[in-house]
C-alpha cells in the first residue's frame, strides 16, 4: 500500500469510525461507490477494530458480572458431564467462546473446556477458526505451548479439552517496565514456543500479552492458535523467511490479528511468514522492557500508520536499564522489512546471551585504591559533603579519553557506599552520535531516570 493510498483509506476509515453502526453502510455506499477495492480495504480495517476477540483470551480467570454474556445455556453446562469431563465452574468468556474448568473423571485431573459460543456454532468462519486452532495446537508438542487433550462436540457445540493453566496473562503482570532479566527470562520461553511452531510450518499470527500465560512458577504458555496458519517450508524451517505460503485461509487483503501487535505486512493484508510473529514478539518485549508501546498513537488508525512508517524510539531512551545488546535485538525484531528480522532461533540465542551477560554498572561496595587519584577523590568527597550540607553544586569530571574518568567516578561512588552515605545515581548514556546538537540528551535522560527511581528531581 502506497503512502497516498494509505491516506485515502485513513480518511474514509476515520469518518466511518465516528458514525453509529447503522449509518456506516450508507456512508461507504456513497464514498466508495466508484472504488470497490477501497471499500474492501476499509471494511477489513473496521473488522479488525471490531473483531470479536480471542477464543482463549481469558482461559483461567473467573468470570465477572461485567463480562459479556453469551446466553443462559452456557452457564447450564456447570455440573454436567461432557463425555469423560465433568464441568465444575465457568472461568471466563470471550468473543468466540466460553471457558470452563472441568475434571477428567477417568484420569482425575483438571482441564479447561473451551466451547464455541452457541450463536457461532453455525457460522462457517467461526467454525473454521475453531478447527484451525485445534489442528494447529494439537500438531505442536512443546512445554511452552498449551497442550490439547481432545477435540469433540456435545449437543451441536464443538469444544476443545486442553491443559488448564493456573496463572495470569502477561498483560496482568507487566503493567510497567519489568527488570531486563525478567523480560529476557520470559522472552526466551515465548520464542522457544514460536521456534517450535515455525519449525512445524505454523505461524501464530496473534502474539500479544493476552495470549501469553505465566504460571505461578514463572513458566510461560503460548495460547490461542485460532488465527494460526500452515505454510509450506522451503529450506531452513526456522529461518525468518519461510518458503512460499500455502493457500491463504482468508481472502487477500483481509486483516487478521490484533491492532497494535500486527506486523507491517499483516497491516497490508499480505500473506504472512514466521517473521510476522517475530515482529509481534518484538512489540511485546518492547512493552515489557519499557512499559510503553513502541507505536503508541491516539487512535487505532494512527497506530497502524505508525507500524507501517514510524521507527520506534530506542528502548534505552525510556528505560536506561535496557542493555545495549537487548536494545539492538528488539529494534532488529521491529524492522519494517521482514527480511531484516532475526529468526526465532536467533532471537532465542540472543536473549540467552544477553540474559547471561547482564552486569552491574556500578562496582559493588568495596574499598578500591586507584594509584595517583587520591587528590581528585578527596575533592569529590568534599564536594559531596557540601551538597549533603544543603548547598547545590555541579562538579564536572573532564579530560582526554582513556585517562580513567569512569574508574575515578566508580571509585568515588564505592567510597560513598562503604562510608554509609545515602545517595541516588541518575544515568544518561553518551554516544558519538550526540556530539552535535543533541549533546544535551544524556543530561535529559539522567533527569528522566530520577522519577523512575522514586527520587523527586526537584531535590
Residue corresponding to grid cell 507491517: 264
For residues 231 and 295, membership in a common domain is answered with: yes
**Do 427 and 290 fall into the same domain?**
no
| DSSP one-letter string for 87-115 | EEEEEEE-SSEEEEEEEETTTTEEEEEEE
Same domain membership, residue 418 and residue 341: no
Active-site residue flag, 206: yes
Q: Say if pTM beats, i.e. exceeds, 0.75.
A: no
Whether residue 65 lies inside any domain: the answer is no
pLDDT for the residue numbered 69: 36
Same domain (yes/no): 120, 40: no
- Report whether 414 contacts 402 (CB < 8 A): no
Flag whether 459 is in a domain. Answer: no
| Nearest C-alpha neighbor of 394 from the set 331, 341, 447 | 447
Instruction: Please state, in angstroms and rounded to a whole number, the distance separating the CA atoms of residues 40 and 36.
Output: 6
Instruction: Judge if 209 and 346 occupy the same domain.
Output: yes
Whole-angstrom distance, CA of residue 115 vs CA of residue 118: 8
d(CA 123, CA 238): 35
Any domain includes 62: no
Query: pLDDT value at position 287?
Result: 95
Looking at the fold, whether 232 and 320 belong to one and the same domain comes out as yes
Selecting among 29, 89, 104, 206, the annotated active-site residue is 206
Counted domains in the chain: 4
Kindly state whether residues 207 and 135 are assigned to the same domain: no
Q: Taking each helix axis as running N to C, give the angle between helix 274-290 and helix 180-199, from 0 to 180 degrees, rounded to the nearest 10.
A: 170
Do you know the residue count of the chain?
459
Write the secondary structure of 426-442 as one string of H (helix), E (strand) and C (coil).
CCCCCCHHHCCCCCCHH
- Assess if residue 131 is contained within a domain: yes
Q: Cα–Cα distance between 187 and 330 in angstroms, integer?
A: 11
Q: How much is the pLDDT for 39?
A: 84
Q: What gap in Å lies between CA 318 and CA 177, rounded to an integer?
A: 10
Nearest 5°: CA angle at 346, between 309 and 335? 5
Does the residue 153 lie in any domain? yes
234 and 347 fall within a common domain: yes
- Residues 293 and 260 sit within 8 Å (Cβ to Cβ): yes
What are the backbone angles phi and psi of residue 352, rounded to the nearest 5°? -65, -40
Per the domain annotation, does 56 fall within a domain? no
- C-alpha separations of 55 from 117, 141, 190, 278, 421 in Å: 9, 20, 19, 22, 55
Structural domain boundaries, residue 277: 168-356
**C-alpha cell, 187:** 522472552
Q: Is 327 exposed, middle or buried (0-12, 13-18, 19+ CB in 10 A)?
A: buried
339 plus 412 within the same structural domain: no
The CATH number given to whatever domain includes residue 182 is 1.10.510.10
Residues of the chain with pLDDT under 70: 1-3, 46-76, 94-96, 120-121, 126, 129, 132-134, 136-137, 226-257, 354-372, 401-402, 418-420, 422, 427-442, 444-446, 448-459
Q: Residue 111 maps to which CATH number?
A: 3.30.200.20
Query: Looking at the DSSP assignment, which residues form a beta bridge with residue 230?
Result: 202
Q: In this structure, are 200 and 261 located in the same domain?
A: yes
CA torsion sign for 122, 60, 171, 284 is negative
In a domain, 66, yes or no: no
Q: Is residue 284 part of a domain?
A: yes
Contact present, 54 and 74 (Cβ < 8 Å):
no
Task: Give me the pLDDT at residue 59, please.
Answer: 38
Beta bridge partners of 93: 98
Q: In terms of domains, do 112 and 251 share one?
A: no
Q: Do 386 and 328 share a structural domain?
A: no
Q: What is the dihedral of CA 280, 282, 285, 286, to 10 degrees?
A: -110
Amino acid at each position: 500500500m502506497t503512502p497516498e493510498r494509505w491516506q485515502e483509506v485513513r480518511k474514509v476509515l476515520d469518518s466511518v469510525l465516528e458514525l453509529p453502526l447503522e449509518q456506516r453502510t450508507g456512508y461507504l455506499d456513497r464514498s466508495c461507490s466508484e472504488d470497490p477495492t477501497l471499500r474492501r480495504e476499509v471494511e477489513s480495517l473496521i473488522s479488525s477494530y471490531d473483531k470479536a476477540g480471542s477464543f482463549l483470551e481469558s482461559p483461567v480467570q473467573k468470570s465477572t458480572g461485567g463480562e459479556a454474556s453469551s446466553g443462559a445455556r452456557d452457564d447450564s453446562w456447570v455440573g454436567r458431564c461432557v463425555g469423560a469431563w465433568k464441568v465444575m465452574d465457568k472461568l471466563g468468556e470471550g468473543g468466540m467462546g466460553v471457558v470452563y474448568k472441568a475434571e477428567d473423571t477417568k484420569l482425575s485431573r483438571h482441564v479447561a473446556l473451551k466451547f464455541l459460543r452457541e450463536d457461532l456454532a453455525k457460522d462457517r468462519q467461526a467454525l473454521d477458526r475453531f478447527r484451525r486452532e485445534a489442528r494447529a495446537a494439537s500438531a505442536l508438542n512443546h512445554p511452552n505451548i498449551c497442550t490439547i487433550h481432545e477435540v469433540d462436540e456435545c449437543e451441536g457445540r464443538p469444544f476443545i479439552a486442553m491443559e488448564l493453566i493456573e496463572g495470569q496473562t502477561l498483560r496482568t503482570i507487566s503493567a510497567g517496565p519489568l527488570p531486563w532479566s525478567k523480560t529476557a527470562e520470559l522472552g526466551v520461553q515465548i520464542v522457544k514456543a514460536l521456534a517450535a511452531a515455525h519449525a512445524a510450518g505454523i505461524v501464530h499470527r496473534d502474539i500479544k500479552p493476552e495470549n501469553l500465560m505465566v504460571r505461578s512458577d514463572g513458566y510461560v504458555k503460548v495460547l490461542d492458535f485460532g488465527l494460526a496458519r500452515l505454510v509450506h517450508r522451503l529450506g531452513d524451517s526456522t529461518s525468518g523467511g519461510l518458503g512460499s505460503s500455502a493457500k491463504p485461509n482468508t481472502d487477500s487483503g483481509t486483516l487478521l490479528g490484533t491492532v497494535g501487535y500486527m506486523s507491517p505486512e499483516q497491516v497490508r493484508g499480505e500473506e504472512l511468514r514466521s517473521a510476522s510473529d517475530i515482529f509481534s514478539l518484538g512489540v511485546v518485549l518492547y512493552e515489557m522492557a519499557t512499559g510503553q508501546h513502541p507505536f503508541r498513537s491516539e487512535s487505532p488508525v494512527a497506530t497502524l500508520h505508525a507500524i507501517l512508517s514510524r521507527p520506534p524510539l530506542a528502548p534505552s531512551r525510556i528505560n536506561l536499564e535496557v542493555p545495549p545488546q537487548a536494545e539492538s535485538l528488539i529494534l532488529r525484531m521491529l524492522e519494517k522489512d521482514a527480511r531484516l528480522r532475526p529468526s526465532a532461533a536467533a532471537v532465542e540465542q540472543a536473549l540467552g546471551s544477553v540474559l547471561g551477560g547482564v552486569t552491574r554498572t556500578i562496582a559493588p561496595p568495596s574499598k578500591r585504591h586507584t594509584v595517583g587519584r587520591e587528590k581528585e577523590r578527596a575533592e569529590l568527597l568534599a564536594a559531596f559533603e557540601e551538597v549533603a550540607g544543603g548547598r547545590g553544586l555541579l562538579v564536572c569530571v573532564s579530560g582526554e579519553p582513556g585517562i580513567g574518568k569512569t574508574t575515578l567516578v566508580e571509585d568515588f561512588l564505592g567510597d560513598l557506599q562503604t562510608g554509609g552515605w545515602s545517595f541516588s545515581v541518575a544515568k544518561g548514556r553518551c554516544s558519538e552520535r550526540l556530539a552535535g546538537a543533541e549533546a544535551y540528551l544524556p543530561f535529559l535522560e539522567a533527569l528522566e531516570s530520577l522519577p523512575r527511581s522514586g527520587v523527586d528531581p526537584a531535590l
